Structures are given as C-alpha cells and as structure tokens.
C-alpha cells in the first residue's frame, strides 16, 4: 500500500478502528469484529487509491496538522520496540534536514525519507493496543506533513507541525534517542 495516497482521515480511521499495521493482538483466534476490521482494511486499500485523486483529501490532511494525541493523566511513557526506535530516528534525521529551508528537490527527498520510515514502522512495529493507537495518530500527522510538503515544497509551514508531532511522540514514548 502506498502511504502517500492514503488521505489522513482514512489513516486515522484505520489506526483507531482497525488497528492494522503495527500492533497485532496475539490471540490465536480472530473475533468477528477482527474479521470485519480486516475486510475494512482490504476495502480501504482500494478506496485509498481512488481517494488519492480526490482533491478533498488535501483538506482533510491540512485539518489534522497541529493536533496532538492527548497525553493521558499520570502517563508513564510507553516503551518503544526496536523498529519504532529505528524508524523514529530516521524520521528525526529527515525532519532535521528540512530545517534550513533547503531547495525543493531536497524537501521532496526528505519528505520521501519520512514516508519510507513510516512505512518501515507500519511493517515492523509490534506494540500493545494503546501505544499503537497513539503511534498511528502521530504517524498520520507526519504523513500529513509530508503530503503537504510534496504538494508545495516551497511552503515550510508543515515542518513546524512535524516537529510538534515528534515532540508529541517524545512525551508519549520513552525513546532513548528522543
């Protein structure tokens, strides 16, 4: 699945409702709800491709910029797994490469680096449900930033929100590299 083509609203819906990607419940038998969620994900991939051509998805992505995942009261930061630590390190490096207002080609390349790191995390992370939901929201926010940068590389505004998403991650997760 090409993450660049998923509208943010769909990504958040998948993250929260279906929890597809990183965390997978280790129960041996899937419930009827799990089967329904799997079917929704399969249909969502087809819908995502169609939605990529819909101009309204850009508005949904823009609306999600600036939205932190809420930090629960008395939150003890969650432990990230090794793929999450690796992926978020790659994201931080790519976002740092956007700070000095680079040329458009570099902006596109660093945005692609973030998207690659996000795809890596979706494919390799394995977290309990609650931190997984929070991570998906953060990753969706980062994807909204990369989408905005790809659509308008001259506009550096999404970089500030990507930094804010990384700060939200730092508050929620006990990542030794943060």
The string of pLDDT tens digits covering residues 64-106 is 556 889 998 999 999 999 999 999 999 999 999 999 889 999 9
Residues 3, 9, 11, 17, Cα dihedral to 10°: -160
- Please state the pTM of the whole predicted model: 0.68
Whether residue 177 is contained in a domain is answered as no
Provide the number of structural domains found in the chain.
Answer: 1
pLDDT tens digits along 104-154: 999 999 999 999 999 999 999 999 999 999 999 999 999 999 999 999 999
Residues forming beta bridges with residue 78, ordered by sequence position: 173
pLDDT value at position 133? 94
**Helix H or strand E encompassing 171:** helix 157-172
For the chain, the C-alpha Rg in angstroms (whole number) is 16
Domain that includes residue 92, residue range: 3-65+78-172
- Give the number of other Cβ atoms within 10 Å of residue 173's Cβ: 20
Whether residue 73 is contained in a domain is answered as no
Whether residue 123 is contained in a domain is answered as yes
Whether residue 178 is contained in a domain is answered as no
Whether residue 87 is contained in a domain is answered as yes
Whether residue 82 is contained in a domain is answered as yes
- On whether the CB atoms of residues 22 and 125 are closer than 8 A, the answer is yes
Whether residue 168 is contained in a domain is answered as yes
pLDDT tens digits along 18-59: 334 454 444 333 344 444 444 544 444 444 444 443 334 444
Whether residue 72 is contained in a domain is answered as no
């Amino acid at each position: 699945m090409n993450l660049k083509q998923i509208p943010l609203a769909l990504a958040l819906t998948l993250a929260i409702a279906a929890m597809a990607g990183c965390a997978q419940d280790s129960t041996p038998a899937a419930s009827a709800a799990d089967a329904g969620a799997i079917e929704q994900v399969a249909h969502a991939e087809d819908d995502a491709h169609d939605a990529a051509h819909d101009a309204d998805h850009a508005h949904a992505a823009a609306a999600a910029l600036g939205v932190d995942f809420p930090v629960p009261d008395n939150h003890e930061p969650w432990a990230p797994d090794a793929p999450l630590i690796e992926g978020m390190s790659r994201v931080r490096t790519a976002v740092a490469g956007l700070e000095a207002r680079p040329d458009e080609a570099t902006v596109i390349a660093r945005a692609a680096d973030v998207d690659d790191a996000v795809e890596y995390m979706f494919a390799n992370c394995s977290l309990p449900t609650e931190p997984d939901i929070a991570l998906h929201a953060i990753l969706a926010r980062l994807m909204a930033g990369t989408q905005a940068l790809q659509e308008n590389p001259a506009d550096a505004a999404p970089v500030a929100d990507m930094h804010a998403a990384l700060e939200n991650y730092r508050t929620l997760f006990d990542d030794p590299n943060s």
